[in-house]
């Protein structure tokens, strides 16, 4: 039987990274009153990593994890207190362990000196008695009457499921682990062994009964079965014996389970389900490479385009009449429903909870607060909100920068907060939720907020605005997203170099999203990020200019309206403004900006589509609107070239190519060129 070891190694590495995330998350939740189950979860994750690395022969990982496991064992059995120093040491160990596992993935040689240094620190911590250790030692020195007899013998029945070998497990390793705990006697039950001709080498037919003697806890025995606990039936029965009545040389098997002096055997419920349950668990998920998923989504996108074409052809044929027209309409309607359902289900495959991105922040906030001398309570909400994997991967770095910026510039030190009449502990909240088919992420703090006077002075100094402009408070706040803008009094290694916030905005715009900030001086700030759920499909509004059709992302549209002459205002330099509620917004003539010679030029004959981007409104002037439609996004840069103000293209139902407009890019292009015709015509 041949096995692809590289495939098993990939699975092992994925499980290691998952286990390390569990360990880090659990350690960050530890405090003096932590539930024992939290420590047990961390211990089990470390134990799994140790066992898997030993099975693959990665001794540097298994040896290092063994020392961590020993320290965790002292925490969970109560012989050592949970304190900040121990948690810091274990977190540093998790970081190093992560580097070691990443080294396996990247085929990098680990730093032996760092491993030795941290391993020594762990061993020194084990040699240091905590107050709890000393108290326990005192108690053990004076045994109570109840401690005069102890469990020194265990009966174990181990009945693995038939697919034990297929899971990569070896019962011999389990028995060897038991033998390391004490004196072991094993009897093999081969009653289910079939004739040789009927035997399947990948099936486990054997069961075992064992007697284990020694000063051992049930938890230690169960640890030996941790790799197979969901793939076996396990029964462990204690057999209490008097140390003075059983000679040390007596065989373990001679201790009868029905001895009158022994207490009745307590039946233990099997720790795992039957084979049928195991099979059901296995069939609930499957590992598939992201390349295969992307290929299927692309094919579904092509199917959506084909289905739209068929709808238009079908509508044309139905107008001509005929006995089969009704059947054709029914079939096309069914095809459309099935295509939409297939599309939605395929996109769900790529969806992951945003907790994947949020999970890094408890550790980040903890480390930065220690460094800056701040006390901050991090609150995460909406972690199970799902978003496309590609969006999730690209939003991580912008979120990190925004959180670091909030900690460095927004939230004050405990002394400053106390002087301002605030609680000494600050609050930082990350939330995510679905709104109108998009995902909205908010980063809020109750810090000092933005100093608008200082922002205006800096903007004037950098020439970002003129001294004659009147800006709303929201416009002033969003000036911090301009390139090179910074009001930091000094440069730090966290922020204040004038780069970062503009990069955040650009990265979010590249994802088809928007970012804005809302602040109240002395009360705090909130950054709002609005993103599409997926980058493969776009909810768009079809707009016509002359004979061409363009797609406007619905995420950016506020409303559409007929232009009224009394609300128009023309400024010097041919600038056109329109009064929209309580503000004047610029009118962007798309036919001029995109170099489209067609279309109407009379404002009262067209429509104004009010859009929002980067905290400001603008009005896009178009001939008419056709309707809303989900479109499949095609990269223009990959298939042609990148164009300013255009984020991509799509194929409409009639086979024509329509450009998808980039709203932030259009507004930026307008501010650079005004309503003058573009140098490069962009016609579809």
CB 408 within 8 A of CB 373: no
Min mean pLDDT across 334-348, 358-372, 472-486 is at: 472-486
Question: Which residue do the tokens 């029914």 mark?
Answer: 330
Residue 442 pLDDT: 93
The domain spans of the chain are 5-137, 148-281, 290-349, 353-532, 537-673
Q: Does 574 score more than 70 pLDDT?
A: no
Q: Does 1 score more than 60 pLDDT?
A: no
- Contacts with 555 (C-beta within 8 Å, 6 or more apart), sequence order: 437, 438, 512, 513, 514, 530, 532, 539
Residue 183 pLDDT: 87
The CA-CA-CA angle for residues 83, 84, 88, to 5°, reads 125
In CATH, the number for domain 148-281 is: 3.30.70
Give the whole-angstrom CA distance, residue 561 versus residue 344: 32
Q: Which fold has domain 353-532?
A: Heat Shock Protein 90 (3.30.565)
Is there a shared CATH topology between the 353-532 domain and the 537-673 domain?
no
Band the pLDDT of 489: cuts 50, 70, 90.
low
Q: Does 35 score more than 90 pLDDT?
A: no
Question: Which residue do the tokens 């004959």 mark?
Answer: 605
Q: Does 174 score more than 80 pLDDT?
A: yes
Residue 628 pLDDT: 83
Tens of pLDDT, residues 183-209: 888 998 888 888 888 888 888 888 999
Residue 267 pLDDT: 38
Residue 87 pLDDT: 86
Per-residue burial over 529-553, b if 16 or more Cβ lie within 10 Å, else e, is bbbbbbbbbbbbbbbbbeebbbbbb
Residue 136 pLDDT: 47
Least Cα distance to 372 among 416, 436, 328 occurs for 416
Mean pLDDT of 274-292: 54
Tens of pLDDT, residues 510-546: 787 888 888 888 889 999 998 887 776 777 899 998 8
Mean pLDDT of 454-479: 77
Min mean pLDDT across 159-168, 436-445, 542-551 is at: 159-168
Q: Which CATH architecture has domain 5-137?
A: Up-down Bundle (1.20)
Tens of pLDDT, residues 393-444: 888 888 988 999 889 888 999 999 999 899 999 999 999 988 766 789 999 9
Q: Does 387 score more than 70 pLDDT?
A: yes
Q: Which fold has domain 537-673?
A: OB fold (Dihydrolipoamide Acetyltransferase, E2P) (2.40.50)
Mean pLDDT of 499-503: 70
Q: Does 667 score more than 80 pLDDT?
A: yes
Of residues 158 and 202, the one with the higher pLDDT is 158
Least Cα distance to 647 among 580, 656, 638 occurs for 638
Tens of pLDDT, residues 144-154: 444 434 457 88
The structure's pTM equals 0.59
Mean pLDDT of 237-251: 50
Tell me which DSSP letter residue 33 carries. Answer: T
Mean pLDDT of 499-514: 78
Mean pLDDT of 353-371: 87
The mean of the pLDDT values for the chain is 77
CB 218 within 8 A of CB 269: no
Residue 631 pLDDT: 78
């Amino acid at each position: 039987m041949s096995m692809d070891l590289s495939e098993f190694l990939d699975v092992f590495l994925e499980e290691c990274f998952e286990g390390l995330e569990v360990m880090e998350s659990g350690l960050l939740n530890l405090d003096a009153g932590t539930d024992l189950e939290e420590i047990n979860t961390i211990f089990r994750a470390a134990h799994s990593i140790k066992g898997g690395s030993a099975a693959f022969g990665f001794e540097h990982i298994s040896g290092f994890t063994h020392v961590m496991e020993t320290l965790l064992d002292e925490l969970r059995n109560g012989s050592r207190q949970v304190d900040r120093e121990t948690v810091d040491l274990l977190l540093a160990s998790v970081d190093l362990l992560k580097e070691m596992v990443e080294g396996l993935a990247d085929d990098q040689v680990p730093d032996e000196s760092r491993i030795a240094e941290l391993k020594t620190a762990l061993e020194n911590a084990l040699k240091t008695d905590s107050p709890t250790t000393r108290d326990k030692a005192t108690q053990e020195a004076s045994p109570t009457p109840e401690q005069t007899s102890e469990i020194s013998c265990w009966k174990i029945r181990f009945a693995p499921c038939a697919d034990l070998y297929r899971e990569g497990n070896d019962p011999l390793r389990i028995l060897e682990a038991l033998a390391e705990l004490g004196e072991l006697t094993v009897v093999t039950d081969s009653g289910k062994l079939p004739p040789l001709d009927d035997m399947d080498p990948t099936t486990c037919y054997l069961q075992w009964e064992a007697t284990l003697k020694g000063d051992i806890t049930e938890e230690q025995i169960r640890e030996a079965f941790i790799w197979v606990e969901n793939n076996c039936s396990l029964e462990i029965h204690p057999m209490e014996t008097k140390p003075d009545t059983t000679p040390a040389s007596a065989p373990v098997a001679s201790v009868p389970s029905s001895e009158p002096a022994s207490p009745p055997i307590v039946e233990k419920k099997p720790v795992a389900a039957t084979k049928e349950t195991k099979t059901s668990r296995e069939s609930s998920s499957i590992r598939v490479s992201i390349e295969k998923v992307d290929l299927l989504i692309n094919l579904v996108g092509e199917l959506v385009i084909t289905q739209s074409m068929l709808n238009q052809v079908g509508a044309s044929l139905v107008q001509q009449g005929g006995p089969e027209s009704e059947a054709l309409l029914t079939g096309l309607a069914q095809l459309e429903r099935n295509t939409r359902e297939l599309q939605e289900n395929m996109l769900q495959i790529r969806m992951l909870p945003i907790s994947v991105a949020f999970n890094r922040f408890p550790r980040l906030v903890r480390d930065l607060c220690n460094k800056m001398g701040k006390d901050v309570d991090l609150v995460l909400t909406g972690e199970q909100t799902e978003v496309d994997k590609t969006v999730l991967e690209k939003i991580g770095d912008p979120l990190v920068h925004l959180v670091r910026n909030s900690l460095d510039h927004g939230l004050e030190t405990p002394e400053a907060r106390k002087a301002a009449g605030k609680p000494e502990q600050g609050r930082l909240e990350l939330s995510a939720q679905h709104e109108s088919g998009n995902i909205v992420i908010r980063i809020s703090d109750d810090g000092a907020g933005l100093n608008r006077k200082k922002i205006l002075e800096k903007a004037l100094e950098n020439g970002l605005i003129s001294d004659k402009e009147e800006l709303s408070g929201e416009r002033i706040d969003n000036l911090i997203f301009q390139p090179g803008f910074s009001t930091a009094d000094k440069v730090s290694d966290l922020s204040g170099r004038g780069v970062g916030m503009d990069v955040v905005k650009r990265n979010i715009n590249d994802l088809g999203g928007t970012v804005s900030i809302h602040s109240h001086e002395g009360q705090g700030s909130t950054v709002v990020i609005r993103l599409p759920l997926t980058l493969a499909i776009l909810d768009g509004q079809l707009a016509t200019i002359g004979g061409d059709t363009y797609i406007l992302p619905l995420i950016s549209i506020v409303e559409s309206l007929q232009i009224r002459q009394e609300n128009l205002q023309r400024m010097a330099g041919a600038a056109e403004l329109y009064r929209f509620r309580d503000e004047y917004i610029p009118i962007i003539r798309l036919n001029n900006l995109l170099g489209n010679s067609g279309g109407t030029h009379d404002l009262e004959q067209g429509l104004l589509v009010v859009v929002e981007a980067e905290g400001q409104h603008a009005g896009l002037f178009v001939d008419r609107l056709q309707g809303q439609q989900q479109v499949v996004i095609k990269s223009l840069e990959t298939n042609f070239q990148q164009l300013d103000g255009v984020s991509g293209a799509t194929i409409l139902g009639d086979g024509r190519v329509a450009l998808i407009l980039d709203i932030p890019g259009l507004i930026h292009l307008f501010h650079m060129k005004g309503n003058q015709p573009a140098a490069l015509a962009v016609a579809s």
